[in-house]
């Protein structure tokens, strides 16, 4: 099948590569000339496991092309996938101007039946707005061309996006006619072989489903972090509580790990956008506001622990930080807990020595050169001369480190563990002062 993807960000790249992998002929359109040249040369601007190999393979096979020629893309694809950004505006609402711009461009140049498939995360009612914009331009052109608009939100996890696309839990198709539903089923047939994963609904319900999915996951994270603060103050162990409640199949173990708050490109943005959607229809979404408030507070927890441990004397201290990405298997630092912690440390005159397996270039891009940030080549190097170690991201390389090396390199054997990777009794037996989330600290 001939498919066009507008936008070569995270969703566009993964969607285009995976659709090409199963034999489709895919053209990806972007307005950034430099980016398009780099992509056609196999240079991928983001880190996602397996994505660079998949893109390179399908470029060589002739099934995947990147271009700035939007007319080529419009002429090429029956399916016109819209995967452009919807960043928050000044109120927190999703800005859909890029989505509308793509729709208007398609309407201006289309000469035959097209299916506009919106994969961007957009407010409820956007599909209807897209339809109206296309219909208006076609009327102004004086042409009678049939088209459909579909809401087809993505549910890709950073770090596991290819697996999620190739073996989806569900495929949400929001449309108001049976014909389009059947055509989308054909499009997704290669990813839908063992059983039917397509769930058809109206466009508004599909648009809300995307926000609802991220909101409930974020709510579980914030709820568990709220419990962790109660556990620490009551002498309970949140990890034992987690196992106790997770064994209930109605609750389960997913997304109930205590930590230092969620980040990334989706949860924070989508929670705020959903809150603005509620506000726009006259509803005060109290729970959504609470989820955001708990998350914002949780990102301050480790700095508060550090400040308390050092009796407020943070100036001149050196802190080793393991983990900069908001989660493992990505280089994404958007709204990461590391950003909040490092900026608080710098504000108080502290030097940061940091290491991350994949996010070092991203950290340099964000902060450039500064005297109070040292980006280290190995996790052990970050420990040199540091007054304490802070673990922020649960990369596998941090799960079983050489504690003798840590103890030898640190000025003080103090570890602040934002992901509860280590055992308090074990840390105490090895002579560490150890702080974690929702568990009583232990002292050497």
Q: Is the dihedral of CA 303, 406, 435, 222 positive or negative?
A: positive
CA angle 79/200/163 to nearest 5° reads 70
Q: How many CB atoms lie within 10 A of CB 405?
A: 12
Q: Is 266 assigned a catalytic role? A: yes
Quote the strand ranges of 86-186, DSSP E.
114-118, 147-151, 171-174
Rounded to whole angstroms, how far apart are CA atoms 50 and 68?
25
Rounded to whole angstroms, how far apart are CA atoms 48 and 34?
20
> End-to-end CA distance of the chain, in Å?
64
Rounded to whole angstroms, how far apart are CA atoms 260 and 248?
24
- Walk across the sheet containing 114-118 and list its strands: 64-67, 25-29, 2-6, 79-82, 114-118, 147-151, 171-174, 198-201
Instruction: With beta carbons less than 8 A apart as the criterion, state whether 174 and 211 touch.
Output: no
Active site residues per annotation: 266
């Amino acid at each position: 099948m001939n498919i066009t993807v507008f936008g070569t960000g995270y969703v566009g790249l993964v969607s285009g590569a995976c659709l090409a992998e199963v034999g489709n002929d895919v053209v990806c359109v972007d307005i950034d000339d430099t980016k398009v040249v780099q992509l056609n040369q196999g240079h991928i601007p983001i880190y996602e496991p397996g994505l660079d190999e998949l893109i390179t393979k399908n470029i060589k096979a002739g099934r995947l092309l990147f271009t700035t020629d939007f007319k080529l893309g419009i002429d090429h694809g029956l399916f016109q996938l819209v995967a452009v950004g919807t960043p928050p505006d000044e109120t927190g609402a999703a800005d859909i101007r890029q989505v509308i711009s793509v729709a208007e461009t398609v309407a201006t140049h289309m000469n035959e039946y097209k299916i506009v498939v919106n994969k961007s995360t957009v407010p409820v009612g956007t599909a209807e707005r897209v339809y109206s914009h296309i219909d208006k331009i076609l009327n102004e052109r004086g042409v009678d061309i049939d088209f459909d608009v579909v809401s087809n939100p993505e549910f890709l996890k950073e770090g596991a996006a290819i697996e999620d696309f190739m073996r989806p839990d569900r495929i949400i198709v929001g449309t108001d006619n049976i014909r389009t539903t059947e055509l989308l089923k054909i499009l997704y047939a290669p990813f839908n072989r063992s059983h039917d994963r397509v769930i058809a609904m109206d466009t508004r319900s599909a648009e809300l489903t995307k926000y609802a999915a991220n909101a409930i996951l974020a709510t579980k994270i914030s709820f568990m972090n709220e419990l962790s603060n109660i556990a620490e103050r009551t002498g309970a162990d949140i990890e034992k509580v987690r196992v106790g409640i997770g064994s209930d199949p109605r609750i389960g173990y997913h997304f109930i790990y205590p930590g230092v708050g969620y980040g990334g490109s989706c949860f924070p943005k989508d929670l705020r956008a959903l809150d603005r959607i509620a506000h726009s229809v006259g509803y005060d979404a109290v729970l959504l506001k609470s989820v955001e408030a708990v998350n914002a507070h949780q990102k301050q927890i480790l700095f508060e622990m550090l400040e308390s441990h050092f009796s407020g004397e943070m100036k001149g201290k050196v802190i080793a930080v393991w983990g900069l990405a908001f989660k493992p298997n990505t280089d994404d630092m958007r709204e990461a807990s590391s950003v909040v912690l490092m900026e608080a440390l710098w504000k108080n005159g502290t030097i940061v020595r940091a290491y991350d397996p994949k996010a070092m270039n991203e950290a340099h891009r964000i902060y450039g050169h500064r005297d109070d940030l040292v980006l280290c080549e190995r996790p052990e190097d970050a420990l040199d001369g540091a007054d304490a170690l802070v673990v922020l991201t649960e990369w596998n390389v941090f799960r079983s480190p050489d504690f003798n090396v840590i103890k030898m390199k640190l000025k003080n054997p103090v570890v602040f563990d934002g992901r509860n990777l280590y055992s308090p009794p074990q840390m105490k037996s090895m002579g560490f002062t150890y702080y974690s989330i929702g568990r009583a600290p232990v002292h050497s």
